[in-house]
Amino acid sequence: MNRCFTLLIEDGKGDGRDGFFLFCLLYISVTLLYSWLETKSGGNMFDGKNIVITGGSSGLGKALAERLAAKGARLTLIARDPKKLASVRQELLGGGASDAAVDVFPCDVSDSRAVEKAFKALADKTGAPDILINSAGILREGYFEYQPIDTFRETMDINFFGTLHCIQSVLPYFKEKGDGRIVNICSVAGLIGVFGYSAYCASKHALRGLTGALRAELKHQNIAFHIVYPAEFESPMVEALNVSRTKENKTVTGTIPILSAEAVADEIIKGIMKNRYEITPGIATRILTGLERVFPSAGRIVSDLQVRRVYKGPEKGKRP
């Protein structure tokens, strides 16, 4: 370090490598400072905001609700099971949220009319939403040959059309207000093809395409988008999956260390505050998805080799 500063003073005496080193140091310092300033400036952006979270009764949606309630947001949670919603509401109130700060609306996001009605009811009650977080989703894993067509339809209906319905229903309120923010929880399975996830990957790839197109269109109406690519994290969804998943899928998805839903929620909140379009929680996931984008064939080769070691296939593998 001392040598760097000496070189700065003794202008022109350093060699090319010293100059490069200094440039890197400066670049890293400016980037860290900028990132810190960005986080500071967005620090209070959730206070008093109306935030709708689909899938808010469990896993990631619930973890986001807990964190956003602590930041002073007014929450509306949507999911199908009214009992789970009521119990999460009680937990949030127990955690210090005020009675008026948490509403719940039982609603199936795959039903476009029900979604439209829910958004009208919640806007009538608490005013237009400021942020919509689409976390509702399902995951069915298994050999393609054992996946009935209904599994594909149900997965698309919830993960893709469910999100689309919520965006369509919130849009008129955002347009009237002149701004809005939408966070779509996608998955690493929306970036790559994963053994056993034929229906899930299809739905999350479709969601990624939709989000990209809407970002490009609606940016000009002051509506911002974020898309989140988590790898596997701890949640009731994964607990259920672990009961019956194929060995091949377990091997491939086990490459990235599992985060908690809370850690994923923290990174999402940071990403929103920094106004990042793409949010990839977890350093290991960022490295692997970054490598995948530069060398897509390397990812396929590694996953093929992993699967080959344990392959049973639909004939010998576990039936659902």
Ligand X SMILES: NC(=O)c1ccc[n+]([C@@H]2O[C@H](COP(=O)([O-])OP(=O)(O)OC[C@H]3O[C@@H](n4cnc5c(N)ncnc54)[C@H](OP(=O)(O)O)[C@@H]3O)[C@@H](O)[C@H]2O)c1
Residue of 50, 76, 147, 187 interacting with ligand X (CB under 6 A): 187
Taking CB under 6 A as the rule, does residue 57 contact ligand X? yes
Q: Report the distance separating Cα 44 and Cα 7, nearest Å.
A: 42
Residue whose structure tokens are 């059309």: 161
Contacting residues for 218 by C-beta, under 8 A, at least 6 apart: 171, 225
Considering the complex, what minimum distance in angstroms separates the CB of residue 33 from ligand X? Answer: 32
Considering the complex, what minimum distance in angstroms separates the CB of residue 246 from ligand X? Answer: 16
Residue of 50, 110, 198, 285 interacting with ligand X (CB under 6 A): 110
205, 162, 151, 286: CA torsion to nearest 10: 30
Quick check: 18 and 4 in contact, CB under 8 A?
yes
Taking CB under 6 A as the rule, does residue 281 contact ligand X? no
193, 196, 200, 205: CA torsion to nearest 10: 10
Taking CB under 6 A as the rule, does residue 238 contact ligand X? yes
The token pair that represents 77 in the structure block:
């949670």
The most distant pair of C-alpha atoms in the chain lies apart, rounded to whole Å, by 73
Considering the complex, what minimum distance in angstroms separates the CB of residue 49 from ligand X? Answer: 21
Taking CB under 6 A as the rule, does residue 80 contact ligand X? yes
In the range 284-313, which residues lie near ligand X by CB under 6 A? none
Contacting residues for 160 by C-beta, under 8 A, at least 6 apart: 203, 206, 207, 210
| Contact pattern from residue 258 through residue 277 relative to ligand X, giving x for each residue in contact according to CB under 6 A and a dash for the rest | ---x----------------
Partner residues linked to 225 by β-bridges: 182
Residue of 104, 158, 199, 279 interacting with ligand X (CB under 6 A): 158
Residue of 101, 109, 199, 252 interacting with ligand X (CB under 6 A): 109
∠ CA 63-52-141 to the nearest 5 degrees? 55
Residue of 129, 180, 196, 230 interacting with ligand X (CB under 6 A): 230
The token pair that represents 313 in the structure block:
């296939």
Q: How many residues are there in the chain?
A: 320
Q: Does the annotation mark 311 as catalytic? A: no
128: left (phi over 0), alpha (psi -120 to 50) or beta: beta
Q: Report the distance separating Cα 125 and Cα 119, nearest Å.
A: 10
Contacts with ligand X by CB under 6 A: the residue count is 32
Considering the complex, what minimum distance in angstroms separates the CB of residue 106 from ligand X? Answer: 8
Residue nearest to ligand X (CB): 59
Considering the candidates 200, 229, 277, 311, report the single residue annotated as catalytic.
Answer: 200
Taking CB under 6 A as the rule, does residue 79 contact ligand X? yes
Considering the complex, what minimum distance in angstroms separates the CB of residue 132 from ligand X? Answer: 13
Cβ proximity to ligand X: between 38 and 111 the closer is 111
Cβ proximity to ligand X: between 110 and 151 the closer is 110
Considering the complex, what minimum distance in angstroms separates the CB of residue 41 from ligand X? Answer: 28
Among 305, 39, 284, smallest CA distance to 292 is for 284
Taking CB under 6 A as the rule, does residue 141 contact ligand X? no
Quick check: 137 and 185 in contact, CB under 8 A?
yes
Interface with ligand X (CB under 6 A): 54-55, 57-61, 78-81, 84, 108-110, 135-139, 158, 162, 185, 187, 230, 232-233, 235-238, 261
Could you give the residue numbers annotated as active site?
A: 200
